[in-house]
Structures are given as structure tokens and as C-alpha cells.
A and B are shown apart, each in its own frame.
Chain A
Amino acid sequence: MRRVLVLGATSAIAEATARVHAERGDALFLVARSPARLAAVADDLALRGAPKVEGFVADLNDLSHHRELLDAAEAALGGPPEVVLLAYGALGSPVVLDRDPYAAVEVLNTNLVSPVALLTLVAERLARAGRGTIVGISSVAGDRGRSGNAVYGASKAGLTAFLSGLRARLWRAGVHVLTVKPGFVDTPMTAHLAKGPLFAPPGAVAQGIVRAVDRKADEVYLPWFWRLVMFAVRHIPERIFKQLRF
């Protein structure tokens, strides 16, 4: 049994990953914004085998809740979490983001500012405990800014960089940091996009995440082929890249 803290537990990837943990008999502390959704997810995970499931309702963009929720998690789980899954994020609408600076700041707050603030506190506690794994869900979109989603890409690029810095800082303390870079995942976040063969189901991504935690990987692309795709995308010269419409 492991103690698992899930931040953004009602996101599709988080829920699918939490199911894998529940089936393994891990104890879960779930944080999400909507009480009704949180309750639906928590009941399900308890039935799927998690010996303990506790919920905490909070808007993680409100940084003033962060300490309180980490205290509550430790109390409920009976110790500092061994796996912390940071899984919340916002995609935002490119059409709106291209015109509305406040909408852009909102996406940065959700995808970068709040995670940096929260993981700073988490890092301190795990370092003190001398163990644990932080899993950050970033995105392939952070590997290179595209015309279609510059703000989202920037927020994920920032998160990827932060996670890599955190990893380098924490490994001496025995804390492991995993960066997850999913490609397209079939979730409510992408409900408006036409589904192609590149879309992966959240369940498959979840399996990949837990496997990567087990083998202490630093960074995974999920599904794996995105590593090749993004290798190519990163190496397109900027002169050409700027002319590509995607």
C-alpha cells in the first residue's frame, strides 16, 4: 500500500491513474474543485479497492489553500504522501487566448503559477521525509510553441523546466521527480477536437504513468511514439517552423 495524493483528481488522466492505484490497494487523498465530481470519483475508487479515499475541495489557483490541504493530506494518509500526482491544467480556447490577456494569465496561473507554488511546498515536505515521487503532467505542447496554442505551450514549457530543475535539486534528498508528456488524450479537455488515430485513451496513459513511477523514469512521452514525433518537431528550423500551420 502506498499513500497517494492526487491534485486535480477529477481530470480524466488523474482519475484513470487513481484507478490503477486503487486496484493496487493504495490509499488516496483527492483534491478537486467540484464537490459533486469529487464525490463521484471518490466513491468509485473506494469500490475499486482503495482501502482509504478522502476528498478535499479546493480551487488550486487560490494559493492560500495549499498548506492547509497538504496538512490535511498528511493527516488523512497517516504520513507524507509517497506519490504526488499533479494533474490539473487548462487548455483554454486559442481564439480567446489570442485576444484576451486576462484569459492568457488565467491559463498560466492554472498550468504554471499554481503548480510551482504547490510543488514548492510538496518538495519541502518530501525532502524532509527523504523519499517519495512527484509526478507532473506536462505536455508535448511544452516542447515547442505552436501557432495554435502559444499560451498553453508556454505554460507547459515552464512546467517542464520547473520539474526538471526540481528533479535535479531533489534527487540527492531521495525524492524522485517524473515529468509526463502526454500527446493527445481523449478527455473532456479535448472533447471539441476531432478524434484521430493519435488520440490515446486515458486508461492507456494511466498505465504508462504508473509504470514510469515504478521504474523511476525521469521523463516519459505517452504514448511512446510522441518521443519520436517531438524529436522531429524540435529539430525543424525556426525559419520553416514559423510557416507551418499547426
Chain B
Amino acid sequence: MAQAEVRDLHWRAEDPFAGVNQRALAYGLGRSYGDSCLNDGGLLLSTRGLDRFVAFDPATGVLRCEAGVSLAEIIDLTLPQGWFPRVVPGTKHVTVGGAIANDIHGKNHHRAGTFGAHVRALELCRSDGSRRVCSREDSPELFAATVGGLGLTGVVTWAELQLRKVAGPYIAAETVEVPDLDHFFQVSAESDARFEYTVAWVDVLARGRHIGRGLFYRGNHAETPARPGEAGRGRLSVPFDLPSATLNRLTVSAFNFAYYRKNRRQRGEREQHLDGFFFPLDGVGRWNRIYGKRGLLQFQCAVPTAAAPEVIRELLGRIAAAGQGSFLAVLKTFGEVPSPGLLSFPRKGVTLALDFANRGPKTLELVRQLYAVARQGGGAFYPAKDAVMSPEDFAASYPRLAEFERHLDPACSSGFWRRVREGHPYQPSLPLGPPAAGGKGVTP
């Protein structure tokens, strides 16, 4: 497999495309699964050297920072001053540029919409040497193409974000047991009205009438201020790649059961540090090693509300029947706040996210089945968590694709883009899964 060359960007005032004569792609912290942040045979423009804050107003919560700043760094700076990003994903080790390019969503999608909804402005550098500040008012088309634009419209050098006010680092969290899928929909509907953050963990191995069994997490920012000296929790780490043999039906089943039991005991209400509530995996260094050397395959779809109960039941049923469990199956309802990007993934309905240990053709076959089922139900797929979707799946997921393509930067491309637009097939040798956490200058 041809590797990509890497060039580190360091200064936002400088042209990221200077002297570039091959297909290039911005690269943040590589937390996308699959090939949407890879560019084999081309050039990766690593943005981690663009890690400076530009301006922050603690009165209004407006932050301007360079695109390589991570959400973790933002939280370190602003949380002590009472501000928190409006939307965070399941890990804080993503860059602002990456969060924009995938227009990421969080547990509060039903209230806040996507990350892009809170981007006030961004600066975009294109390979023709131009740079433009885009917002909903200025260059709105380029703004809509760049939010959720998968890095294909150019390089974002800085962005201005609206943060939200919080009293302290705690979440008033509650865990509710959900015996089956019908209950999930019930609990979800009543929770979305009362809680800013909602998400469910599902036991993917439950069968028959137990399908959809799981735990529902919900929470609001607590009014409690920070207790001095208390930080997030310490780190556990998976020290080496577990041999794939350890990941069989039995261990997954045991893990899921243990997780279910452990968390069931924690049912009820409690105040929790937001690190544990939002970023549980960040507490386990190199968690992706649980999946062994071949890594993992992610799958995430969003299904329209009407079709959701049936489609989600069918998907979970097939996974349970195949016995190819996943440590993390996450179910969440997306709300109606419109996403600002032409290629934004979130849309009203229900989203299911899963990962599978990559066991080669068998896994691929199952995942392909899931795509077929979801697509029949009008489902859409998430490029950030994908290594499998076909050009047809992609086109069906993104009806505004033609409009988007008018804004492509001719010098930009990615493995994902060549796969879904030019029909280059999936490469099973892809190093799936995010790399280990690292500091400035880590290259893929």
C-alpha cells in the first residue's frame, strides 16, 4: 500500500499549498475511522502545528483558535473560565478542523444540532492561493460546503466558535435500564424533552424480545462549581494488541454482560465529572488495541424516524444472529436542528453506531448486509466511521452531493473520496481505527 507523505503546517499566515503538486488532504488527529482522513500516494497536510489560540472573550464565550487546536486543549483553557464547547463527540482528542470537516454531533444533537451550527466563521485556504473568511453571511456557499466537507474544499486555518456557559465540570447524570427497543423509543422521547444529553448503550448480543436491551444515559450540566484540586479521572491503558483470538463471541458476550451488570448497579442519579460522562474511552489509553492488530470496522447509520423501529430491530437482529458483537453499540435520536453543511451526516431520526473487530471477509460481509438493510429503510451513512460504503450508498446518503462538488478544491482528495466517487475499491489492508493519542507533530 502506498503511504502518504506528510507535511506539517505551522503558521496560519502561510499558504498550506505552497509548492504542493500532488493531491493533498488536511489531517487533524486522525480520529476518523477508515479512509476519510487518509490519502495514500498523496500528501497529508498535518494541522497539529496550528495549535494556537487567537482570541477568547470570557464575557461572551466566543473563541477564535487555529484549526489544529484540539477540543481537549479548548476545554483546558475555557472550562476554568466557565465555558464548554457546544458540541463534543465521544473523544476530546479531535481537532477543530476535523470537527468542522465531519460536522460532528454529540449526545445533545436533539438540542444543539451539530458542531458546525456553532461555528461563527472560519478561514479557508484553497490551492489557488486564495484565502477566504466564510460564515453564514460571507461566502455562505463555501461555508456550507466546508462544514461537513471532509477536507475536500481546502484547508481550514482558523475558526471562531460559540461556546456555552457552564457552572463547573460536572454532569447531573442518570442511568436508566431499558429492557428492549420499544422502551428505548419511549425513554428517548421522554428524556429528550428534559435532558440536554441523551444516548443509549445497547447489548448487541441480546436476541428475540430482548433486542434493544441496554442502558440509557442522560444528563444536564450540574450547577455545582469546580471543587479545587479535582481533575478528571486517571488513565487505564491497554498495553499491547490483544491477539484476535481473545475477541470471540464469548469474550464480547462476557464483556457486554459485565458492562451491563456493572453499570446497572450504577443506575439512578449521580453527579459525574464530564470527562467520564462524555469521553469514557479517553480514560483507556490506546483502547483500540482491544481489537487486535487488524483493528476495527465502524458502522454508523441514521434512519428516518418513521422507518427507525423496524430498521434498527432488523440491524440489531442480524448482528446478534451473526454473533459478531461489538463493544460499543450506541443508539441515539437526532433532533430537528438543521445541520449547516451540504454533506452533514446528522438528520432527524435515529442513529446506530457500532464497531466490529475486523476479522476479514466474514466481518465485511456482515457489514455489507447492514448497509443494505439500512439503505432500504432510507438510511444514510457517516463517512467519519466508514470503510465500506459504496458509491451508490454515498450518493443515496447525500442528496446535495452535486451542489457540494462545485466547491471541491481540485488539489484535494482522500482515500474515501476516491473510493466513493471514483470507484477505487475498499482496501482491507487499511490501518483501521485511530492511532494512539499523541502530542504535537505526531504523524500517521
Contact of A188 among B8, B12, B56 (CB under 8 A): B8
A36 contacts across to B, CB distance below 8 A: 11, 13
Contact of A37 with B13 at beta-carbon distance under 8 Å, contacts A47-B77, A203-B440 already known: yes
Q: Of B47-55, B243-251, B319-327, which stretch is located at the interface?
A: B47-55
- Cβ of A37 and Cβ of B440 under 8 Å apart? no
- Cβ of A202 and Cβ of B10 under 8 Å apart? no
* CB of B12, distance to nearest CB on chain A (Å): 6
Q: How far is the CA of A40 from the CA of B64 in the complex (A)?
A: 12
Decide yes or no whether A195 CB sits under 8 A from chain B. Answer: yes
Contact of A41 among B8, B52, B55 (CB under 8 A): B52
Decide yes or no whether B443 CB sits under 8 A from chain A. Answer: yes
- Cβ of B52 and Cβ of A43 under 8 Å apart? yes
Contact of A186 with B441 at beta-carbon distance under 8 Å, contacts A36-B13, A47-B77, A191-B8 already known: yes
Q: How far is the CA of A111 from the CA of B12 in the complex (A)?
A: 27
* CB of B198, distance to nearest CB on chain A (Å): 33
- Tell me the residues in window 58-91 of chain B with beta carbons closer than 8 Å to chain A beta carbons: 66, 77
* CB of B437, distance to nearest CB on chain A (Å): 12
Decide yes or no whether A217 CB sits under 8 A from chain B. Answer: no
* CB of A58, distance to nearest CB on chain B (Å): 19
- Tell me the residues in window 1-34 of chain B with beta carbons closer than 8 Å to chain A beta carbons: 7-8, 10-13
Contact of A44 with B54 at beta-carbon distance under 8 Å, contacts A36-B13, A37-B11, A188-B10 already known: yes
Flag A192-207 by CB within 8 Å of B: 1 or 0 each.
0001000101111000
Decide yes or no whether B439 CB sits under 8 A from chain A. Answer: yes
- Tell me the residues in window 161-211 of chain A with beta carbons closer than 8 Å to chain B beta carbons: 186-188, 191, 195, 199, 201-204
* CB of A206, distance to nearest CB on chain B (Å): 10
Contact of A44 with B11 at beta-carbon distance under 8 Å, contacts A195-B443, A202-B440, A204-B439 already known: no
- Cβ of B440 and Cβ of A40 under 8 Å apart? no
Decide yes or no whether A33 CB sits under 8 A from chain B. Answer: no
* CB of B148, distance to nearest CB on chain A (Å): 27
* CB of A50, distance to nearest CB on chain B (Å): 12
- Cβ of B12 and Cβ of A40 under 8 Å apart? yes
- Cβ of B441 and Cβ of A40 under 8 Å apart? no
Q: How far is the CA of A195 from the CA of B56 in the complex (A)?
A: 34
Contact of B440 among A41, A48, A201 (CB under 8 A): A201
Q: How far is the CA of A203 from the CA of B440 in the complex (A)?
A: 8
- Cβ of B440 and Cβ of A186 under 8 Å apart? yes
Task: Output the nearest chain B residue to A185 by Cβ-Cβ distance.
Answer: B441
Q: How far is the CA of A201 from the CA of B441 in the complex (A)?
A: 7
B10 contacts across to A, CB distance below 8 A: 12, 188
Q: How far is the CA of A202 from the CA of B51 in the complex (A)?
A: 13
- Cβ of A44 and Cβ of B8 under 8 Å apart? no
Contact of A47 among B8, B53, B438, B439 (CB under 8 A): B53
Q: How far is the CA of A43 from the CA of B56 in the complex (A)?
A: 10
Q: How far is the CA of A140 from the CA of B151 in the complex (A)?
A: 39
Task: Output the nearest chain A residue to B53 by Cβ-Cβ distance.
Answer: A47
Task: Output the nearest chain B residue to A36 by Cβ-Cβ distance.
Answer: B13
* CB of B235, distance to nearest CB on chain A (Å): 17
Q: How far is the CA of A143 from the CA of B131 in the complex (A)?
A: 45
Flag A1-32 by CB within 8 Å of B: 1 or 0 each.
00000000000100010000000000000000
B77 contacts across to A, CB distance below 8 A: 47-48
A203 contacts across to B, CB distance below 8 A: 439-440
- Cβ of A44 and Cβ of B53 under 8 Å apart? yes
Q: How far is the CA of A201 from the CA of B8 in the complex (A)?
A: 13
A199 contacts across to B, CB distance below 8 A: 441
A188 contacts across to B, CB distance below 8 A: 8, 10, 49
B49 contacts across to A, CB distance below 8 A: 12, 188
23 contacts between A and B (CB under 8 A): A36-B13, A40-B11, A40-B13, A40-B52, A40-B54, A43-B55, A44-B52, A47-B53, A47-B54, A47-B56, A48-B77, A187-B441, A188-B8, A188-B10, A195-B441, A195-B443, A199-B441, A201-B438, A201-B439, A201-B440, A201-B442, A202-B441, A204-B439
Closest 8 A-B residue pairs measured CB to CB?
A: A44-B52, A186-B441, A47-B53, A36-B13, A201-B439, A44-B53, A188-B10, A201-B440
Q: A16-B440, A37-B11, A40-B12 are in contact. List 12 more A-B contacts (CB 8 A).
A: A36-B13, A40-B13, A44-B54, A47-B55, A47-B77, A48-B77, A186-B441, A187-B441, A188-B49, A195-B441, A201-B439, A203-B439
